[in-house]
Amino acid sequence: MLLLAGLLSTGTVYAASTNAEPSVAPAAAQQTAGTCTGIVYDETGEPLPGASVRVPGTRIGTSTNIDGEFSLAGVKNGATVTVSFIGYKPLNVIWKGEPLKINMQEDVNDLEEVVVMGYGVEQKRAKVTNSIAKVSEKTLTVGANANPAQALAGAVAGVKVKVTSGDPSATPSIVIRGGTSFDGTGSPVYVIDGQIRSSLSDINPNDIEDMQILKDAGATALYGARAANGVILITTKQGKSGKATVNVNIKYGLNYNRDLGYDFTNAEEFIYWYRRGVNDTEWKNRGGAAQLTSSNSPAGIGRTQLDAGTNFNIMTMTDENKYLLERGWQSMKDPISDATIIFRDIDPLEINLRQPSQTQDYNISFSGGNDRGKYYAGLGYYDAEGAPQNTFYKRYNFAFTGSYKITDWLESNSVFNYIRSNWQNNALIAGSDNAFFFGRIISVPHTLRLLDEDNNPLLGQSTDNTNLNFQPDKFQRDNQSDKFSMTQSLTANLFKGFSLKGTMSWYYNEQLTSAFNKDFQTNQQGTMNTTRSTSMSFLRYFDQTYNLVANYTNTFNESHYVSAMLGTEYYNRDYKAFSAGGQGAPTDYFPNLNLTTTEAGKRTMSSSRFQEKIMSYFGRVEYDYQNKYLIAATFREDGYSRLINHRWGFFPGVSAGWVASSEEFFKKSSVSNWMNYAKIRASVGLNGSVNSNYIGYYTLQGSYSPAMYNGVYGYRISGLPNENLKWEKTRTAEVGVDFGFLQNRFNLGLTYYNRLTSDKYANLSLPQTTGFSSVVSNNGKVRNQGLEIDFNGTLLRTRNFTWTLGANLTYNRTCVVELPNNGLPNNRQGGAEVWVGDGSDKTMFIGGTQEGQEPMHLIGYKKAHIIRSEADMPKGYIDIANSSGSGLYTDDEGLQKLKAMGYTTNYKLQPGDVIWQDRNGDNIIDSRDQYDLGNRLPHWTGGFNTNLTWKGLSLYARFDMGFDITVYDGPFAWWMGCGQGSYSMPTAVKDTWTPENPNAKYPRYVWASNFGSDAWIRTSDVIAQNGAYLACRELSLSYQLPANICSKFYCQGLSLSVTGQNLGYLKKCTNPLPDNTTYTNGATSGWGGTYNLPKTLLFGLNVTF
């Protein structure tokens, strides 16, 4: 490949041109050099100052002066001169010794832009009859992202990007038009240079030339079985004819991780509120009271001196320990006694999080070519430190593309891509995932003893509530993935308009992970874990794709355009994996598996191997008459090895359009004075899917697991097979209009879509006598329908200033159409039975998944009011819906009710507790008094970007948004409800009810609320919040140096930039990431936190030689 690059760099070389063919003067003329002068004008005929004028392939360059004039010395007669200016189309002209008069044209959204649809099918955007969105290179590269998906948030109508973690190795999820599942999920298929990939993590954003997103079935039917959730097509960068160029792109970022979305109390505030909360709790005898006098709890003051087993820096002050006040300790009055408390405040975040962490992104590329061939080669290195200490993600990549005309009719194209990734996550022994770590570490009380009196690191309470700097060398982790992709194609242009292309693609994905724990300390007392456990796992995917595609295009009588494509494809995936583990390595220096103990039960080993195949036939035909009447039809037939009796599926699509602005009556109308383009389009199509959440490699054949019966080992069937499973099918119909105004200065698109997914996979319940709980079956339908609005325009353009705006807005609603018949109303699955609320004893079901209703709604209780004083107590009121199973009452009448109902553990509600809305007015709160609190998926999503340029300065901003959504902050509820009994609490605790603050926003803070009044832990509108948000993803200021200055640095172009990424949310809810709507009810929510997105300050340098 490098030899090919060298060959392509020799011989006759032309300057890159966007609007003209290369032109070369006779050799003799080229030897004459002189001074090239001229004037550059804008489209109105006014001189254009600040335009870049250069001779490609040389160091000759300058900028026009205030009068649009320029002068270039040393230019050879016949040389190509390139003129460019932001907002105008680049122009190449040939200098023949005379002064040049150059008229520039405004570069608006060009309807001549080519849209790629896959398998060699291309269309001009003016003739596209499908919903296909293009993502600009600026959107993908203005920031520093490990995954290109991170740059898509808010960039495309109907595309929702969910960034769930600030972990640099995290993979965002992408959902197009609401997905095809009841829970709003469904990943699109990713096609990179014709290869289907599982995610966008396989490519460096800097190597992407073009990204297209196919949304409607009229277009995605071409990818049939795997495209029910849309298609993202990516073409990597290609070389261009002309002098070889080198581009260097460097970015360095500082990531500020301190803002994790919550502001927690310091040590003094924690002690005050915790001790007061326990003391005011009626059920403190269930463990809370003991913590007040404990010698080893976060707020206990039973200790008077420090020793090796001290977990928390809090004691009752005595004459013997008050010397600590001179060593950074503090004192306070105990809020519940006459004691004086001495304590030390240590912020766990300052110790366990980097402040700031760093991101480095280095890329260099080489490209060039001539009339025989072109090449592009790119090298990249990305290094991002994680927020937690000792965590990181690194990526190394190499990309190469080359094309070569073997003969006049035969062309070869080669693509090679290699990416290596290394990463290190938290090495905590228990709960090593990020949610567990952040759920605990940000809420650990500031009294936790993480440093000794000389500020040397200590373990902390355990390896969960810990100091990551204490023994990081005890946990060896090695995580690595290697991904190789190779594509080779030959294209034969057999006769005019007809080509035959054969392609072979190989994709390797290998991942190796290993872990070894040396002897490590498990608690502050010095207890050691000496198991010396070690493990290793390896997996490899090997995907092979072979296809043969014939394309034909022709125009008859200058009016009839015909294009046809027919192809066949074979896909094979081979998956192998193994893992092994052991204990008892002889020393800390020998992690080898073969050295672990051979004792029974100390070693484990497993392996697996799967294979799947898909055979396909596909085609597409297009016709248009005079660029006015457009029609296209697509089909694909897939046979999939995972299915048995219904392996083959046929997936057709058809689309049509009418370009009304090409009609004579339109051109003659007054409308054409301000609207130059108008098109109506419609499409309908069918896609298929085999949902891997239900259909594994052996689901249809049945799965087996080892078992022992009567002392004999054997195998038993563990999954009931169903050979008659079929494809899930998704039918999508849409209609849209596209408009261009003022010569495409403004563009507007409106699209309505209706997507119905049928034969949904579902687990059908079976009688216990069968020995199985359920079997997978095709039974269910879900519909998504919505409206997309796209706008792009140049709001303002003057001689030196340009302001552009792009915006999109999408409305989507999901409805359950059909579910497996289970005998329940609307075949309901889940949800809650509640009172109708008309005063009768009638009930109904809300929430869950029901036919005719929207899924993913939050069900819970509604607050009537907070009890401000005894006068607010309703008479005879009882609450039996709390999570502890105890009874709550307001007076003796209520208590007698509870006793009559058999409740033996009862607590009287106090001022600061919550009175809940009573649906049926019986003065009894139970599970039937719940309400629909709102939808958990946003109905409205969108985003906008804007770019302002003045001479060489450019200011770019990108935002995304979502609204009409309800979010539930489970961790916040857990902390405010003191659910675990030893967490710290957010500073919002200062706005909880107290006698001194009876009009507070929140209910009172008590110890272990879930044991009693349960104002916090139960799902309710105390925590359910409006999740509407506006997020600033990027704000970038860049400066492009003038050509005459660049020439002094021996380069063609040089730009500097400073960018802010993930600058924050405008929101009302407490959730750090309101667009991450994952919801877990009950106590488990307290164990999950959010790895918030860091705010990043990024500095960039881009140089082209």
pLDDT in tens, 75-112: 998 899 999 887 678 889 999 989 999 998 876 555 66
The DSSP 8-state label assigned to residue 671 in this structure reads G
- Within a domain: 525: no
Q: What is the pLDDT averaged over residues 841-854?
A: 92
Q: What is the pLDDT averaged over residues 309-321?
A: 95
| Burial of 511 (C-beta count, 10 Å sphere; 0-12/13-18/19+) | middle
Amino acid symbol at 334: D
- pLDDT per residue over 729-754, tens digit each? 999 999 999 999 998 899 999 999 99
Mean pLDDT of the chain: 89
- Is the confidence at residue 185, as pLDDT, over 50? yes
State residue 431's pLDDT score.
46
Q: What is the pLDDT averaged over residues 125-148?
A: 87
State residue 26's pLDDT score.
40
State residue 110's pLDDT score.
59
State residue 774's pLDDT score.
80
Q: How confident is the model at residue 1072 (pLDDT cuts 50, 70, 90)?
A: confident
Task: Examine the domain organization and report whether 955 and 900 are in the same domain.
Answer: no
- Is the confidence at residue 10, as pLDDT, over 90? no
- Within a domain: 143: yes
pTM of the full structure: 0.86
State residue 240's pLDDT score.
82
- Is the confidence at residue 18, as pLDDT, over 60? no
State residue 882's pLDDT score.
87
Instruction: Give the separation between CA 345 and CA 352, rounded to whole angstroms.
Output: 15
Of 682-686, 824-828, 861-865, 867-871, the poorest mean pLDDT is in 824-828
Angle subtended at Cα 927 by Cα 925 and Cα 929, rounded to the nearest 5 degrees: 55
Q: What is the pLDDT averaged over residues 680-688?
A: 94
- Within a domain: 921: yes
923 within 8 A of 942, measured Cβ to Cβ: no
Q: Which helix (H) or strand (E) holds 273?
A: helix 267-279
- Within a domain: 883: yes
Task: Examine the domain organization and report whether 94 and 118 are in the same domain.
Answer: no
Question: 125 is written with which tokens?
Answer: 């955007």
Instruction: Give the separation between CA 158 and CA 812, rounded to whole angstroms.
Output: 8
The DSSP 8-state label assigned to residue 1022 in this structure reads T
Residue indicated by tokens 């936190």? 1089
State residue 60's pLDDT score.
86
Amino acid symbol at 348: P
Q: Does residue 1003 have a cis peptide bond before it, meaning omega lies within 30 degrees of 0?
A: no
- Is the confidence at residue 245, as pLDDT, over 80? yes
Q: What is the pLDDT averaged over residues 166-185?
A: 89
Q: At which of 216, 239, 262 does a domain end?
A: 239
Chain centre distance of CA 654: 31
Instruction: Give the separation between CA 187 and CA 179, rounded to whole angstroms.
Output: 7
Instruction: Give the separation between CA 150 and CA 127, rounded to whole angstroms.
Output: 30
Residues facing residue 162 across a β-bridge: 173
Three-class DSSP category at 57: coil
| Burial of 809 (C-beta count, 10 Å sphere; 0-12/13-18/19+) | middle
Q: Can you give the three-state secondary structure of 110-137, one letter per residue?
A: CCCCEEEEECCEEEEHHHCCCCEEEECH
From the list 199, 131, 163, the residue with the least C-alpha distance to 755 is: 131
State residue 1102's pLDDT score.
94
State residue 1088's pLDDT score.
58
372 within 8 A of 8, measured Cβ to Cβ: yes
Task: Examine the domain organization and report whether 142 and 198 are in the same domain.
Answer: yes
State residue 462's pLDDT score.
86
- pLDDT per residue over 377-413, tens digit each? 999 999 999 999 999 999 999 999 999 999 999 999 9
From the list 281, 125, 295, the residue with the least C-alpha distance to 679 is: 125
Q: Strand 189-192 and strand 231-236: pairing?
A: parallel
476 within 8 A of 515, measured Cβ to Cβ: yes
- Within a domain: 522: no
Q: What is the pLDDT averaged over residues 335-355?
A: 94
- Within a domain: 157: yes
Question: 387 is written with which tokens?
Answer: 């927020």
Instruction: Give the separation between CA 227 and CA 223, rounded to whole angstroms.
Output: 6
- Is the confidence at residue 29, as pLDDT, over 80? no
974 within 8 A of 1006, measured Cβ to Cβ: no
Q: How confident is the model at residue 1081 (pLDDT cuts 50, 70, 90)?
A: very low
Q: At which of 103, 124, 149 does a domain end?
A: 103
Q: What is the pLDDT averaged over residues 1023-1038?
A: 94
Q: How far is CA 1105 from CA 2, 6, 70, 364, 1002, in A?
A: 19, 17, 22, 11, 62
Percent over 90 (pLDDT), the chain:
63
- Is the confidence at residue 1083, as pLDDT, over 60? no
Q: What is the pLDDT averaged over residues 63-81?
A: 88
Helix extents (H) in 346-386? 348-352
Question: 1087 is written with which tokens?
Answer: 């164990």
Instruction: Give the separation between CA 697 and CA 575, rounded to whole angstroms.
Output: 11
CATH of the domain at 42: 2.60.40.1120
Task: Examine the domain organization and report whether 924 and 1030 are in the same domain.
Answer: no
Rg of the chain's alpha carbons, rounded to an integer? 34
CATH of the domain at 189: 2.170.130.10
Question: 916 is written with which tokens?
Answer: 């809940």
For CA atoms 843, 847, 848, 852, the dihedral sign is: positive
SS3 content of the chain, % helix, strand, coil (to 5): 15, 45, 40
Task: Examine the domain organization and report whether 121 and 210 are in the same domain.
Answer: yes
- Within a domain: 701: no
Q: At which of 187, 214, 239 does a domain end?
A: 239
Instruction: Give the separation between CA 1045 and CA 52, rounded to whole angstroms.
Output: 11
Angle subtended at Cα 324 by Cα 322 and Cα 327, rounded to the nearest 5 degrees: 145
State residue 382's pLDDT score.
96
- Beta-carbon-side half-sphere exposure of residue 216 (alpha carbons within 13 Å): 31
Q: How far is CA 671 from CA 626, 668, 742, in A?
A: 21, 8, 11
From the list 902, 910, 865, the residue with the least C-alpha distance to 880 is: 902
Task: Examine the domain organization and report whether 1029 and 1073 are in the same domain.
Answer: yes
Percent over 70 (pLDDT), the chain:
94
- Beta-carbon-side half-sphere exposure of residue 217 (alpha carbons within 13 Å): 29
State residue 109's pLDDT score.
54
Classify 274 in phi/psi space as left (phi over 0), alpha (psi -120 to 50) or beta: alpha
Q: How many CB atoms lie within 10 A of CB 166?
A: 24
Chain centre distance of CA 323: 52
Three-class DSSP category at 194: coil
Instruction: Give the separation between CA 57 and CA 1047, rounded to whole angstroms.
Output: 12
Task: Examine the domain organization and report whether 72 and 147 are in the same domain.
Answer: no
Q: What is the pLDDT averaged over residues 591-605?
A: 91
Task: Examine the domain organization and report whether 130 and 234 are in the same domain.
Answer: yes
Q: How confident is the model at residue 618 (pLDDT cuts 50, 70, 90)?
A: very high
- Is the confidence at residue 126, as pLDDT, over 60? yes
Task: Examine the domain organization and report whether 99 and 127 are in the same domain.
Answer: no
For CA atoms 692, 695, 699, 704, the dihedral sign is: positive
- Within a domain: 517: no
- Beta-carbon-side half-sphere exposure of residue 1079 (alpha carbons within 13 Å): 25
- Is the confidence at residue 981, as pLDDT, over 80? no
Residue burial 204-216, b: 16+ Cβ < 10 Å; e: rest = bbbbbebbbbbbb
State residue 285's pLDDT score.
87
- Is the confidence at residue 614, as pLDDT, over 90? yes
Q: What is the pLDDT averaged over residues 571-575?
A: 96
Q: How many domains would you assign to the chain? A: 4
Longest dimension (CA), the chain: 112
Three-class DSSP category at 595: helix
Task: Examine the domain organization and report whether 187 and 235 are in the same domain.
Answer: yes
Task: Examine the domain organization and report whether 177 and 224 are in the same domain.
Answer: yes
Q: Which helix (H) or strand (E) holds 1043?
A: helix 1043-1048
Q: What is the pLDDT averaged over residues 1076-1103?
A: 70
Range of the domain at 1054: 951-972+1019-1104
From the list 544, 445, 528, 529, the residue with the least C-alpha distance to 485 is: 544
State residue 52's pLDDT score.
85
- DSSP secondary structure of 562-593: EEEEEEEEEEEEEEEEEEEEE---SSTT---G
Q: Which helix (H) or strand (E) holds 528?
A: strand 528-529
- Beta-carbon-side half-sphere exposure of residue 132 (alpha carbons within 13 Å): 26
Task: Examine the domain organization and report whether 968 and 926 are in the same domain.
Answer: no
Instruction: Give the separation between CA 808 and CA 810, rounded to whole angstroms.
Output: 7
Choice between 202 and 947, residue whose per-residue pLDDT is larger: 947
Choice between 722 and 926, residue whose per-residue pLDDT is larger: 926
Q: What is the pLDDT averaged over residues 1052-1061?
A: 93
Q: How confident is the model at residue 711 (pLDDT cuts 50, 70, 90)?
A: confident
Residue indicated by tokens 């349960």? 1014
Question: 966 is written with which tokens?
Answer: 């309800």
Start-to-end C-alpha separation, the chain: 22
Choice between 112 and 611, residue whose per-residue pLDDT is larger: 611
Q: What is the pLDDT averaged over residues 783-795?
A: 95
Of 679-683, 800-804, 891-895, the poorest mean pLDDT is in 800-804
The DSSP 8-state label assigned to residue 235 in this structure reads E
Question: 345 is written with which tokens?
Answer: 């405040």
